[in-house]
Amino acid sequence: MPTQKTHTMAIRYPFVYNVGRCIHNGLSVALGAYRRSTALILSGKELSLLVNEHTSKLCRAFEERFSRKPCLAVVLVGDNPASKTYVKGKKKACDEIGIAHIDFTYDESLSQKSLLELVQSLNDDPNVDGILVQLPLPSHIDEVKVINSIDPAKDVDGFHPVNIGKLLLGQKSHIACTPKGILRMLDHYGILTDSKDVCILGRSNIVGKPMAALLMQKDRNATVTICHSLTPDIVPYVKRADILISAVGHTNVVTSDMVKDGAVVIDVGMNRVPDPSKKSGYALRGDVDFANVEPKTSAITPVPGGVGPMTIAMLMENTVVAACDQKGIDTADLEVLE
Ligand code: GUN
């Protein structure tokens, strides 16, 4: 049966190369206790530079054609420190790539009614192409109501039920940025998912669920297991995984005894641990005990510098795609001068 290509939102890159031959575990097993690390480090930091370069060219071509930049509305409510950091990173990426951003920053006390009115005004504004409402929202605001109020065409996070539903059905949609970034990284490094056992730790709407939906499609052909906080024992599921994706949000959830030799490990965790040697007072750690797990793997993402930069790169790409969609063109219709 021919493989069916869905999710063609992804821009196909000429620089995708196949390093599948690098994915091996023989040496590390053979050397036993003295094994040296042979894992391929999947650098989201490096790949995001390539993706952003291409997105930037698309932005310049868009501006030439429509006399304005693609535009993202960035909404932040409250003072969650992690959210503030993420939003800062997203705005910086917009500036570097050539995406205009309009910023809406409110304190905790913003009412749900005011936020819904803001979203409605952004939906109605033809000069706004994408809307990002940073989550989590303060507890008095119903997140579902807010997400559902965003025009699916401007939902560059891919969180709206229309986009999630289309994704599940294998139809073209805005795809949530973290899962999309993980797939882009696997593709870039030549890691195939066909017939693989993939274990996802975490069932969030942002990562776990869309990740599972993408991997089960006919263009990915993985056998997917999702473990969550009420899975009695995650170990047997993790142990059999060819590809492990951890999106739990706690350090050292994944230890070396749990990981199959030669597995590919994707660490979505962005956990802050106190570190007085840093100016910020904290260091970023993933969910995975990197130092001990890495030698067992064939490929692994670092934290920082792995999934995080890819999430932002995909947000930028989704914004340009949304801008083009709303102008009735495909990104391929933009004349990009190499
Ligand atoms: N909070 C954590 N990750 C995300 C994300 O990708 N998008 C939004 N809007 N909020 C988040």
**Tens digit of each residue's pLDDT (9 = 90 or more) over 134-192:** 999 999 999 999 999 999 999 999 999 999 999 999 999 999 999 999 999 999 999 99
133 Cβ below 6 A of ligand 1: yes
Which is more confidently placed, 23 or 106? 106
> Average of pLDDT values for 328-336?
90
Name the segment(s) of the chain with CATH classification 3.40.50.720: 20-42+171-307
> Which ligand 1 atom sits closest to the C-alpha of 176?
6
In short, whether 336's Cβ falls inside 6 Å of ligand 1 is no
The mean predicted confidence, pLDDT, of the chain is 91
**pLDDT (tens digit per residue) in 16-60:** 333 333 343 333 334 344 455 789 999 999 999 999 999 999 999
Q: What amino acid is encoded at 109 in this protein?
A: S
Q: What is the mean pLDDT of residues 196-208?
A: 98
CA-CA distance, 56 to 65, in Å (whole number)? 14
Distance CA 117, CA 111 (A): 10
The yes-or-no verdict on residue 6 having pLDDT over 60 is no
How deeply is 162 buried, as exposed, middle or buried, from its count of CB atoms within 10 A (0-12, 13-18, 19+)? Answer: middle
CB-based contacts of 19, cutoff 8 Å, min separation 6: 40, 189, 190
pLDDT above 90 covers a percentage of the chain that reads 88
Closest atom of ligand 1 to 177 CA is 6
Q: Right CATH number for 65-157 from 3.50.50.60, 3.40.50.1820, 3.40.50.10860, 3.20.20.70?
A: 3.40.50.10860
Atom 9, ligand 1: which residue's CA is nearest?
Answer: 134
Please tell me the least confidently modeled range out of 33-42, 231-240, 295-304. Answer: 33-42
- pLDDT recorded at residue 295: 97
pLDDT for 235 beyond 50: yes
Residue 13 has pLDDT above 50, yes or no: no
Distance 29 CA to ligand 1 centre (A): 39
Among 134, 150, 312, 318, say which to mutate for ligand 1: greatest number of ligand atoms within 8 Å of CB. 134
Q: What is the pLDDT of residue 338?
A: 60
Cα–Cα distances (Å) from 48 to 28, 57, 188, 287, 321, in that order, read: 29, 14, 11, 21, 17
Q: Which fold has domain 20-42+171-307?
A: Rossmann fold (3.40.50)
**Ligand 1 within 6 A of CB of 270:** no
Position 259 pLDDT exceeds 70: yes
Cβ burial of 221 (10 Å; 0-12, 13-18, 19+) is middle
Rounded Cα distance, 37 and 30, in Å: 12
Please name the residue whose Cα sits nearest to atom 2 of ligand 1. 135
Tell me: pLDDT of 11 over 70: no
CA R_g for the chain: 20
Predicted local confidence at residue 187, as pLDDT: 98
Assess whether pLDDT exceeds 90 at residue 237: yes
pLDDT band at 193; cut points 50, 70, 90: very high
> Rounded to the nearest 10 degrees, how much is the dihedral formed by the CA atoms of 62, 64, 67, 72?
30
The Å distance, Cα 2 to ligand 1 centre, comes to: 35
Q: Where in the sequence numbering do the catalytic residues fall?
A: 90, 134, 157
All CATH 3.40.50.10860 domain ranges of the chain, comma separated, are 65-157
Q: Which residue out of 74, 77, 84, 86 has the highest number of ligand 1 atoms within 8 Å of its CB and is therefore the one to mutate?
A: 86
User: pLDDT-based confidence at 337, cuts 50/70/90?
Assistant: low
Bridging pattern class, strands 40-41 and 299-300: parallel
Ligand 1 contacts CB of residue 287 (under 6 A): no
Please name the residue whose Cα sits nearest to atom 8 of ligand 1.
Answer: 134
For the Cβ of 76 lying below 6 angstroms from any atom of ligand 1, the answer is no
